[in-house]
Amino acid sequence: MNTPIELARRLATKAQRIVFFTGAGMSADSGVPTFRDALTGLWAQYDPLQLATPQAFARDPKLVWDFYEYRRDIVRNCAPNAGHRAIAALEGNGREVTVITQNVDGYHQLAGSREVLCLHGNIMEDRCHHGCPGVFPATKPEDPNAPVPPVCATCGRRTVRPNVVWFGETLDEAVLERARAAVENCGLIVVIGTSGVVYPAAGLADTALGLGKRFIEINPEPSQWSREADVSLRGRASEILPQILTTTE
């Protein structure tokens, strides 16, 4: 009897090149709020256009900075879950595994995944708001009277900003190109915990379907891909991923 879980497990076992395309639902079981979930989602409580755009930061840099500090504290106090670990464990046995994530929490890397493409940046990093090269770990200033946002250590004149993509900003084209190549070369894509409403990221799953890639979806809710997916698993990433990945040879 082929249950959906058994079918998904078989697809995962057979595939040599697997892409995991993840969204906020991947970290929901770690305790990190998603964006659009009705009750717990960030965007249900706050207006993203007031907090996650270059205009919002120009208008009120301290408000936006404090919002990201609030989210950073959540990320610092939570941890990768069994789903992140199941994906990372797969890399050990000669498969080509690429994680393409919309998440900015760095949990895939913390869990041990090595090939992680962060489409929307990393909330635990800062960069100069006016373009000094490089990014650096986001740290809490020692001095309680330090300016908020902090001043860039490189130029000493301008403020820093979180190293994330805001609404209205473009993604890093090189990262997106690598993500597209990974989707084109994979045998299987596993789409986990995303509402699929933000492009160009969600376009990667559309591309996989268009290329006829084997397609597994993991989400408690249906999505625009559910009907065409080979397997659409209704459930939580931290529970389902260990069931379909850790038993593979």
Residue 150 or 235: the one with the smaller Cβ distance to ligand OAD is 235
The verdict on 30 binding ligand OAD (CB under 6 A) reads: no
The verdict on 74 binding ligand OAD (CB under 6 A) reads: no
Q: Residues, the chain, total? A: 249
Q: Distance between CA 26 and CA 130 in Å, rounded?
A: 32
CB 27 within 8 A of CB 78: yes
Q: Distance between CA 225 and CA 218 in Å, rounded?
A: 11
Would residue 120 show up in a list of annotated catalytic residues for this protein? Answer: yes
* DSSP tag of 170: P
Residue 49 or 211: the one with the smaller Cβ distance to ligand OAD is 49
Both structure tokens of 200: 């160009």
Residue in the block written with tokens 């959906």: 4
Q: Which range of residues in 32-40, 88-96, 155-163, 181-189 is near ligand OAD by CB under 6 A? A: 32-40
- The β-bridge relationship of strands 135-137 and 116-118 is unpaired
CB 81 within 8 A of CB 1: no
Residue 110 or 171: the one with the smaller Cβ distance to ligand OAD is 171
Q: Judged by CB under 6 A, how many residues of this single chain contact ligand OAD?
A: 25
Position closest to ligand OAD via CB: 25
Minimum distance of ligand OAD from residue 195's CB (angstroms): 3
Q: Which of 32, 5, 70 is nearest to 193 (CA)?
A: 32
* DSSP tag of 91: G
Q: Distance between CA 153 and CA 146 in Å, rounded?
A: 13
The verdict on 231 binding ligand OAD (CB under 6 A) reads: no
Residue 53 or 154: the one with the smaller Cβ distance to ligand OAD is 53
The verdict on 204 binding ligand OAD (CB under 6 A) reads: no
Q: Which residues, 139 to 198, sit near ligand OAD by CB under 6 A? A: 165, 192-195, 197-198
Catalytic residue positions? 120
- Please give the residue ranges that form the binding site for ligand OAD (CB under 6 A): 23-25, 28-29, 34-37, 41, 102, 120, 165, 192-195, 197-198, 218-221, 236-237
